[in-house]
Structure 1
């Protein structure tokens, strides 16, 4: 195919070159090379060949015509009484210029063709990914449509149920066990499980408070349960080499542990699908067990006098710092002080309009009768917190004064009537240090504490 194309190229170039002298001889036999004409028509032949096939074809055509004119001059052909130097030089220059434009145009065309092929390849890849995501999204919609509630709404319902049971005495797990197991069955693919109460000495009651399916009889020496009670973390059995699960014993033990490391109960899973037996599912179960443990503690402490705003904030802060280690993410704590002269409702409305479902806000009055807004933003980094403050009109860039500390950033507005301090929480953050710095921020009005001393206690916010 390539040889045929080259043959056609040279055939057409030679034919174009010879056609002009033949046409000239037919028009005027005394001047077949158009030497005595006002316009040298002979130069069109190499220009056409060069524009059609490139530099080599154009130069070859020009060389052929110049050879014919030179031969006619030396052989004394009629119409070639003198050697046309100007026409020969003009023919060469015009051929070079036209072929250079043609080569430049070909290079640009090839470049555009390569770009097109690259974009087409990326477009095809994007189209395949799009259809894959579209199909996955459709299946996800079907899955969500089959569930009446999301996980967050289910946890909110469980929290409301705990609040309604706070005024009723009895076991902390009584009345909520079925709801807890229902959440595990819906969102963790648990098929058979039981929830068991644990006392302060971490001794488990062998009789289940609630059950999902028909849980098997527990063995006192079950290593999975013993590991969960000892460490306070989710424990699971190791699968066999062929990927099969044992038919007896506990597969997973989920301690319901609060932020103060008190285990209120253990969920023992006896059956769950193999595909759910993976690391991210275990992390999810650990986070879920911690949240349920906090709710159980909230119910147990309903009649205690120390269930104040400071304790609530401390509990939620400890829970978030604990989840950071499991989920390998970050969080942000923000304290905002508003003097009594400033209307707090405007700022509160802005915060409530921008907060997500997982964010928490606590509003108290400090000892100087100032309004204190305590915000906890889980799964958020410093950039996300700055965007939130920017949307509520309290960004660092618009602050009158700003100072950066080792663990936090503080800034103020309106002549000091509004003060904001922000702490970035990661896996190395100590909740005690953050609580102490919040307390010092309130006391010193605009100073970020550097480090907490071991012998200092944490003050309450009430």
Structure 2
């Protein structure tokens, strides 16, 4: 297609190339002389057909006008009229006076033909210029279109690792696994977990192996694709279990180039916030464009949250309300995600003087709650306090949330939030520091 377009452009440039000036002069003189010579040969007594029915030599300036325009029509007419003047003076033409009418007529219609040709040449040049402009814009549009298409494709490939996709993935994770039957890593929960990993990592051949009291199980409890049983001495699998971290051929291949003998592409351990290993996701095949650090990071984060949910189902109720235990559980996971993956999370504490103010602000907060936000009442009644955990939220997001909450409170009470509650904020970092921060307002241990 590109070769065809190049040939068309080359042909168009060749056809639009004007004849050189010397060729125009030579052709004008030769054609005009040829018509005069033919008239002298065919009709020696009247070579200019002054007494004939049609002045045939006048075709010379007419043709030159149509071919090269007004100026060369004028040149050809002057040559023809010059030859007529010489013939009249020498007595070679059968007239008693110079034929001014004939001369003027030849001059007029040849110049009209030349002007006609020049007019349409100017119109064609305008159209060609307009066409060239449109061609340039079309090429720019085509380049921009393909650049946008490539950028869109790359954006789709990277979308799985973006923060908005991570938020949606975690929200879907809590919605689906929370309704699974049974406690612990069962075939039903393992199947749900594997489907979520497939959705966000495009896994093609993978399986989930549980960890028992005797070590890694021999058979998977959930699989996708043509997954065959693993070797117990697979280096990637052993490294992932030993280091309790995601391991792929991207890092293992460079470090153990000579010793690497594995059937796996990647191994993802299911480790909860307290470093308890409950299973391993073994991956043998996934699309190449998804096998990048951003997607692997997303899968590791999802695996950690999955392990936390499984362990949460096994735990016996502890002190405090269910809401407070859930808050502490999610806070530990947020601290781990911040430390291992650099994911931001924010904490906001509000303390009140009385229950009426507490109830009013709590209602506004729950109306503004997003899918991953965790709101709880602090266990201590002195002072009365509320805490909210904002996962995947940096300082700007925290400030934006407080502004929305302040606007909602003002709309309902016509008072700013700062008049109803004492506001404290911090970013999530180490578990011990967050625990001390909460304990200063009546919090209990998170571990």
**TM superposition score category, shorter chain reference:** 0.5 to 0.7
Residues 433/132 of structure 1: CA separation in 2 closer, same or farther (3 Å cut):
same
Asked whether 1:423 is paired with 2:447, we answer no
1:296-337: CA deviation from partner (whole Å, max 9, x where unpaired):
112222x44458444322221221222224443432211122
Question: Contact 1:334 / 1:375 at 8 angstroms: preserved in 2?
Answer: yes
Pairwise mapping of residues 34-73 of structure 1 onto structure 2 (< 5 A)?
A: none
**In structure 2, what is the Cα distance between the partners aligned to 1:253 and 1:159?**
23
1:273-315: CA deviation from partner (whole Å, max 9, x where unpaired):
22222221221111011111111112222x4445844432222
The alignment partner of 2:354 has SS state of coil
* CA apart distance, 1:437: 1.1
Among 335, 342, 347, which residue is 1:321 paired with?
335
Pairwise mapping of residues 47-446 of structure 1 onto structure 2 (< 5 A)?
A: 132-133=147-148, 136-137=151-152, 155-165=170-180, 168=182, 171-199=184-212, 203-238=215-250, 249-301=263-315, 303-305=316-318, 308-358=322-372, 360-364=373-377, 366-368=379-381, 371-393=384-406, 413-414=418-419, 418-425=421-428, 429-440=429-440, 442-443=441-442
The alignment partner of 2:355 has SS state of coil
Question: Contact 2:374 / 2:388 at 8 angstroms: preserved in 1?
Answer: yes
**Larger Rg computed on CA atoms:** 2
Please provide the CA RMSD for this pair. 3.9
* 250-259 or 305-314, larger mean C-alpha shift: 305-314
Question: Contact 2:157 / 2:289 at 8 angstroms: preserved in 1?
Answer: no
Residues 129/324 of structure 1: CA separation in 2 closer, same or farther (3 Å cut):
farther
* CA apart distance, 1:355: 4.4
Q: In the alignment, what sits opposite 1:454?
A: none
* CA apart distance, 1:221: 1.0
**In structure 1, what is the Cα distance between the partners aligned to 2:438 and 2:158?**
43
The alignment partner of 2:303 has SS state of helix
1:73-120: CA deviation from partner (whole Å, max 9, x where unpaired):
xxxxxxxxxxxxxxxxxxxxxxxxxxxxxxxxxxxxxxxxxxxxxxxx
The alignment partner of 2:348 has SS state of strand
**In structure 2, what is the Cα distance between the partners aligned to 1:264 and 1:327?**
20
* CA apart distance, 1:138: 8.8
* CA apart distance, 1:370: 5.7
Residues 199/413 of structure 1: CA separation in 2 closer, same or farther (3 Å cut):
same
Residues 231/128 of structure 1: CA separation in 2 closer, same or farther (3 Å cut):
same
Unaligned ranges ≥5, structure 2: 1-138, 160-164, 409-416
The alignment partner of 1:164 has SS state of coil
**In structure 1, what is the Cα distance between the partners aligned to 2:240 and 2:195?**
21
Question: Contact 2:345 / 2:389 at 8 angstroms: preserved in 1?
Answer: yes
Q: In the alignment, what sits opposite 1:406?
A: none
1:344-391: CA deviation from partner (whole Å, max 9, x where unpaired):
343234334544444x12222533176532222233332331232123
**In structure 1, what is the Cα distance between the partners aligned to 2:325 and 2:371?**
22
* CA apart distance, 1:230: 1.3
More helix by proportion, 1 or 2? 2
The alignment partner of 1:260 has SS state of coil
* 215-224 or 372-381, larger mean C-alpha shift: 372-381
Unaligned ranges ≥5, structure 1: 1-123, 145-149, 396-411, 444-457
Residues 433/129 of structure 1: CA separation in 2 closer, same or farther (3 Å cut):
farther
**In structure 1, what is the Cα distance between the partners aligned to 2:295 and 2:280?**
17
